Each structure stands twice: as structure tokens, then as C-alpha cells.
């Protein structure tokens, strides 16, 4: 029996949950991207100069996210039916409209397709039918995928697909892989951080490394070049939440001096990649995993950011097989830590809001952190959960880097 | 626990139990969601007016509300205070059809997001069902101007809520709400069910 059963079960499960669960992010980005069909090519300056149209705030993603979602807006609108555009313009609690289920289904469906493509490409990165099945089951049926793709419908699944494709093409065509990372960075910026790690694993010669890095940075630069003179682009997209948060975790040395720990960790990982595994492209998944886990566990993360490292985490774990039960235990702790950390963030749209399509009165319930506060300090639990996630994440990342697996 | 569950899933993914387990899991998920909605939620949606655009709030803006339920107690409005720079004082009023003030709330500009939903919660009105009210939002002369979402008719866009006073009423109200959403979007729900059924049949037939 092949993987068909897994795809069928996953399709059934995700198609069932797609229309029923809601998060405002996908509505916001589709509202902003629909301006492409009205001929708006610079969404950053458009929303600044037309504040009455900025009903859902500024556009905070790099430009390709706008063009990609703006391009699929018309077919999505056709599938979504009447009232879709008006609904997009409504507030975050606009879940009482009758067409909500159809709207959510139409918006999330393209992202689900990319999620399935990612799963399919992942299976091509491992050998053995049993390993492939195991990888697919993990990819489709884990709390992070179910929550971020099925419940929220985050566009991160698009970027994740580009990073998986980059790993797929890493050996076959490093230039294509590099360009894919640059393309991904035009949807969400984080793949840009992966390019230096990718190029040092491609070759031992700096000349080749620079040649491979060029397509990635060039694609990114060409993509953002038209917006470099737009101040709103800097404010809302280029200086993103991630780039600022990466510098917040730091060691205070006194006398106004600080050492930011995430950049420090990334530099250390980069040095290990260069001097221990330089030219060993087989380790690309391990380094992508390490970089992305370090970034996510070291910042005040959005839950969907956990999806970034997931494919490489599962690649590592399935290659390991059942030999290392401690790895599976670490994965369980990582997911538990992730869940408890974001559930206690004081944002109802991450918890009750997800089920608000049935009755938005659920948004008036006290947040989970307020409920927990009645029994025990929620901040304390959240800190402990984040530590749990960080420790297990770093353990998994280190194990991947230093494992003997290719 | 998670590890154990994952191992069990690996083992059952290709046997006869797959579909029953998946369908039971989905039913359990929906049961939990419905239980939260029926037993946890107290303030339920009453009625709403669809937003069309943001309107500058430099003079009083009004809108009509006809409540469908008793115990009307919340109105949600969407406003925008660019850069949260306006810290003036604004007035929210609810008048009956005789023009008498029924409820009034004053609020500061700092309570308005950029943009954000603003919740006006007041003592519930026991006999609100079927009655008409006028909502008036009045700014002071503070700068810079703030915006409020309005309908195509340039009336305040809002969502109103009522307080459910017992669980049987809550269950009934929830069932009616769900029924209304399914009936008005029957085409999509038929397509969705057929799609799910098609996947199930496709897999089972291929297997046999």
C-alpha cells in the first residue's frame, strides 16, 4: 500500500477543517492584495496615502506576497461567491456573515495545495517507502501544521514550500535553489538568512560560494528595488517584526553594552557550517533546521513561525527512525512548549477567535491567560513553556548538526 | 503521550481503523467546539450592519439598530485613530425611537486602535426585542481626526450582541444561528459535503 491513503485522509481532514476555523491574518492579506486588481502596484505607498482604505492596517509583507495573493485573488473571489470583497474590508470580528465558511474555504484552498506539494517534495528527499509514509504522516498530522495551515491558513506555507524546494534543488542545481530562497524571502523575509548557510555547504571555494549566493540575493534585490524609495516599505515590511525581535534577546554587559544572542548563535552556527561541514551539501537540512529553530525559540514568536523549521525537523527525525527515542521525546516537548507558549499570549484570535465562525460571541470570553491567572501566574507558565520549547528545540538542532546522517 | 499517539497513528494509518478514527476525531473536535460555544458563551450576536468604508468623524455620525433579541448589551464599532495621536473625548449614545437617551458612554481617543474594534458594553436592556434604536457617535474638536466605519448608506456600521440568560436559550440560539448560516449558503455546504464524501469513496473503492 502506497502513500495514497495518507494523502486521502489528509485531504479529507484538511478540507473538513478549512472552512470552519478562522484567523484574521488571511483576511487582512487578501483584503490588501485585492488592490492589485484595481491597478495598485505599490501597496505600501497606496495605503499610506489613502488611510481610509487602510481598514486593516499597513501591508507588512515583502512585495511578492502582495503580487502572488493579488494574482490569485480573482479565482479565489470566483470561488468565494458574492459579498467576498465587502467582507474582506470588515473588521477582525466579521465572522457573523453567512458566507464566512465559503470565504474561508476559497482563501485557504490555494495554501492547502502548496502544503500538499511541500509534503510531496519532502518525500522525494528520503529513501524507503516506510520512511516516506512516516514523513507524510508527521507532516500532515502534527499540531503545528493542523493549527497554522488548517485552522489559521497562514501564508507561511508558501514560503516553507520554497525552502523545501531549495533543499530539493540544492544538489541538482544550486543556482535554482539559491533563487528559490530569494523568491521565498520576497514573500516573508526569513529565507534570506538561510542563503549564507546554504552557500557554505555547497562548495569549499569562496568563489563558487559567492556565485551561488548571487541568484538568491539578486532575485530578492530585484523584487524589492522598486520599493526602496517608499518610506512605508521600510517602516512596515523591511524592518519587520522578526528583524527587530532578533535583537531583543541579549546579554547585558553593563555600561550600555549588550550581546544579542540570536545573531551570536547564528554566527557560531555559520562558523561550524563553514569549518566542519563546508562543501557537505548533505547537511543542508540540518543547518536550515538549526537556524530556523534558533530564530523561533529565541524570540517572542507568532505560532505560524514554528512551521518554518518543521519540514527539516521531520526530515531529520524520520532519517533517524526509531533508533533515538529521546529525539521523539524532545519533539513532544517542543510541540508542547510551542502550544502552551502561544495559547497564553494575550490575543483571543489565537484561541477563541479560531472557533468564532460558529458564534463570534466567543470573543467575549476571557483570554486563556486570564483564565489561567485565576489559578496560577500565566506568565510563569508561559516562561516555563518557552524554556521547554527552547531547550528541546536547541537539543534537536544540535543533534541534527552533529549527527552522522547525511 | 504525543509520541505514543503518533506511533499509534503510524500503525493504524493503513488498516481498517483509519477512517473510523479520523471521523471520530473530527466529531470529537466539533463536539468540543460546540460545547464551548453553548456552555461558555454568554453574549451572542444580535444583528449587524455591514461596513463599506472609513468615514472621517468630524461631526456626529449616526445609525439605526433594530434589535432581534431581549437583553441587548454590547455594540462593537470599528474605528481608526491614525498613530493613536488623538486623545480627545468622544461620546457614544443609544436613543430610543422617541429620542430619549437609553445608554451613554464617554471614551477617550486612546481607546481607539489604528484601526481597532471598539466595544461598548452597557447594562443589558431587558425588553429590547423588536425595538428600534438610534446610535450616535459624537466627537469633540480634538485633532487629528479619527475615522469610523460606516455602511454604503453612510450610517454607522456595527455588530450588536445580547446576553443569553439560560442554557436552553443559548443552545436554541446557537442552533438557529448555525441553521441560518447553512440554509443561506446551502450551495457551498452541498459542494463541501460532496467533496468530502468523494474523497472517502475514492479511497475506499481504490482499496477494495
Q: pLDDT digit of tens for each residue in chain A (406 aa)? A: 458 889 999 999 999 999 999 999 999 999 999 999 999 999 999 998 887 777 788 899 999 999 999 999 999 999 998 889 888 987 777 787 888 999 999 999 999 999 999 999 999 999 988 889 889 999 999 999 999 999 999 999 999 999 999 999 999 999 999 999 999 999 999 999 999 999 999 999 999 999 999 999 999 999 999 999 888 888 777 666 667 787 788 888 888 888 989 999 999 999 999 999 988 999 999 999 999 999 999 988 899 999 999 999 999 998 865 557 888 899 999 999 999 999 999 888 999 999 999 888 898 899 999 999 999 999 999 999 999 999 999 999 999 999 876 5
Q: Which residues of A touch B26 (CB under 8 A)?
A: 13, 16-17
A81 and B74 within 8 Å at the Cβ level: the answer is: no
Main-chain phi, psi angles of B107, to 5 degrees = -150, 155
In this complex, the residue of A15, A54, A359 whose CB is nearest that of residue B174 is: A359
What distance in Å separates the CA atoms of residue B197 and residue B200, rounded to the nearest whole number? 5
- 3-class DSSP state of B119: strand
A5 and B203 within 8 Å at the Cβ level: the answer is: yes
A358 and B9 within 8 Å at the Cβ level: the answer is: no
Mutation target vs B (from A352, A358, A388, A392; most B CBs, 10 A cutoff): A358
What pLDDT digit, counting tens, does each position of A120-138 carry? 999 999 998 888 988 999 9
Residue B206 contacts A where some CB pair is shorter than 8 Å: yes
- 3-class DSSP state of A196: helix
**Contact, A38 vs A66, CB < 8 A?**
no
Superfamily of domain B44-164: Galactose-binding domain-like (2.60.120.260)
- The structure's pTM equals 0.88
pLDDT in the model for residue A1: 44
Calculated CA dihedral for residues A29, A30, A36, A40, nearest 10 degrees: -40
Cβ neighbours around A98 below 10 Å, total: 15
Name the A residues in 94-133 with CB < 8 Å from any B CB: 94, 96-102, 105, 133
Alpha-helix runs per DSSP H in A18-99: 24-33, 43-49, 63-80, 84-88
Set of cell numbers at residue B90? 468622544
In this complex, the residue of A141, A352, A358 whose CB is nearest that of residue B9 is: A141
Residue A328 contacts B where some CB pair is shorter than 8 Å: yes
Cell 480573482, residue located: A74
In this complex, the residue of A53, A98, A138 whose CB is nearest that of residue B184 is: A98
**Contact, A122 vs A164, CB < 8 A?**
yes
Cell 448589551, residue located: B73
Residue A92 contacts B where some CB pair is shorter than 8 Å: yes
- Kindly report the nearest CA distance between residue B18 and chain A, in angstroms: 8
Question: For A256-287, what is the HEC assignment?
Answer: CEEEEHHHHHHHHHHHHHHHCCCCCHHHHHHH
- Kindly report the nearest CA distance between residue B20 and chain A, in angstroms: 11
- Residues paired with B105 in a beta bridge: B92
Residue A67 contacts B where some CB pair is shorter than 8 Å: no
B115 and A1 within 8 Å at the Cβ level: the answer is: no
Amino acid at each position: 500500500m502506497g502513500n495514497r491513503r495518507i494523502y486521502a485522509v489528509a485531504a479529507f481532514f484538511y478540507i473538513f477543517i478549512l472552512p470552519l476555523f478562522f484567523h484574521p491574518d488571511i483576511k487582512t492579506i487578501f483584503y490588501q492584495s485585492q488592490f492589485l486588481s484595481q491597478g495598485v502596484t505599490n501597496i505600501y505607498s497606496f495605503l499610506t496615502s489613502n488611510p481610509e482604505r487602510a481598514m486593516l492596517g499597513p501591508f507588512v509583507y515583502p512585495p511578492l506576497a502582495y503580487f502572488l495573493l493579488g494574482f490569485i485573488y480573482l479565482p479565489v473571489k470566483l470561488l468565494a461567491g458574492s459579498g467576498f470583497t465587502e467582507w474582506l474590508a470588515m473588521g477582525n470580528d466579521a465572522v457573523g456573515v453567512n458566507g464566512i465558511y465559503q470565504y474561508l474555504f476559497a482563501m485557504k484552498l490555494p495554501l492547502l495545495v502548496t502544503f500538499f506539494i511541500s509534503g510531496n517534495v519532502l518525500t522525494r528527499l528520503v529513501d524507503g517507502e516506510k520512511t516516506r509514509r512516516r514523513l507524510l504522516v508527521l507532516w500532515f498530522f502534527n499540531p503545528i501544521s493542523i493549527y497554522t495551515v488548517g485552522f489559521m491558513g497562514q501564508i507561511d506555507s508558501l514560503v516553507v514550500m520554497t525552502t523545501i524546494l531549495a533543499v530539493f534543488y540544492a544538489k541538482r542545481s544550486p543556482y535554482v535553489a539559491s533563487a528559490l530562497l530569494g523568491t521565498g524571502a520576497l514573500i516573508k523575509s526569513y529565507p534570506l538568512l538561510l542563503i549564507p548557510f546554504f552557500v557554505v555547504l555547497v562548495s569549499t571555494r569562496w568563489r563558487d560560494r559567492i556565485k551561488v549566493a548571487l541568484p538568491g540575493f539578486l532575485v530578492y534585490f530585484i523584487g524589492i528595488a522598486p520599493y526602496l524609495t517608499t518610506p512605508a516599505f521600510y517602516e512596515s515590511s523591511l524592518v519587520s517584526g522578526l528583524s527587530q525581535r532578533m535583537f531583543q534577546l541579549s546579554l547585558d554587559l553593563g555600561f550600555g553594552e549588550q550581546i544579542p544572542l540570536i545573531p551570536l548563535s547564528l554566527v557560531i552556527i555559520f562558523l561550524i557550517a563553514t569549518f566542519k561541514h563546508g562543501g557537505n551539501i548533505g547537511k543542508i537540512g540540518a543547518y536550515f533546521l538549526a537556524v530556523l529553530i534558533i530564530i523561533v525559540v529565541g524570540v517572542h514568536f507568532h505560532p505560524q513561525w514554528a512551521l518554518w523549521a518543521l519540514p527539516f525537523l521531520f526530515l531529520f527525525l524520520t532519517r533517524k527512525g526509531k533508533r533515538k527515542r529521546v529525539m521523539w521525546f524532545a519533539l513532544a516537548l517542543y510541540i508542547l512548549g510551542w502550544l502552551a507558549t502561544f495559547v497564553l499570549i494575550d490575543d483571543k484570535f489565537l484561541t477563541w477567535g479560531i472557533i468564532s465562525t460558529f458564534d463570534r460571541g466567543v470573543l467575549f470570553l476571557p483570554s486563556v491567560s486570564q483564565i489561567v491567572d485565576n489559578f496560577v501566574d500565566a506568565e510563569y507558565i508561559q516562561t516555563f513553556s518557552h524554556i521547554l520549547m527552547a531547550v528541546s528545540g536547541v537539543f534537536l538542532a544540535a543533534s541534527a548538526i552533529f549527527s552522522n546522517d547525511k | 503521550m504525543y509520541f505514543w499517539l503518533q506511533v499509534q497513528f503510524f500503525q493504524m494509518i493503513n488498516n481498517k481503523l483509519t477512517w473510523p478514527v479520523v471521523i471520530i476525531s473530527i466529531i470529537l473536535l466539533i463536539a468540543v467546539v460546540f460545547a464551548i460555544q453553548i456552555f461558555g458563551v454568554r453574549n451572542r450576536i444580535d444583528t449587524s450592519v455591514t461596513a463599506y468604508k472609513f468615514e472621517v468623524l468630524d461631526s456626529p455620525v449616526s445609525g439605526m439598530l433594530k434589535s432581534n433579541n431581549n437583553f441587548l448589551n454590547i455594540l462593537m464599532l470599528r474605528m481608526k485613530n491614525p498613530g493613536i495621536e488623538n486623545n480627545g473625548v468622544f461620546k457614544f449614545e443609544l436613543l430610543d425611537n422617541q429620542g430619549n437617551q437609553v445608554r451613554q458612554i464617554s471614551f477617550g481617543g486612546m481607546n481607539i486602535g489604528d484601526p481597532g474594534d471598539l466595544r461598548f458594553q452597557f447594562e443589558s436592556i431587558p425588553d429590547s426585542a423588536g425595538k428600534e434604536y438610534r446610535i450616535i457617535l459624537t466627537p469633540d474638536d480634538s485633532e487629528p481626526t479619527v475615522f469610523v466605519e460606516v455602511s454604503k448608506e453612510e450610517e454607522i456600521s456595527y455588530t450588536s450582541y445580547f446576553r443569553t440568560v439560560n442554557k436552553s436559550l443559548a443552545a436554541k440560539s446557537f442552533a438557529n444561528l448555525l441553521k441560518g448560516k447553512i440554509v443561506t449558503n446551502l450551495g457551498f455546504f452541498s459542494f463541501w459535503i460532496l467533496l468530502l464524501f468523494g474523497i472517502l469513496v475514492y479511497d475506499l473503492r481504490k482499496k477494495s
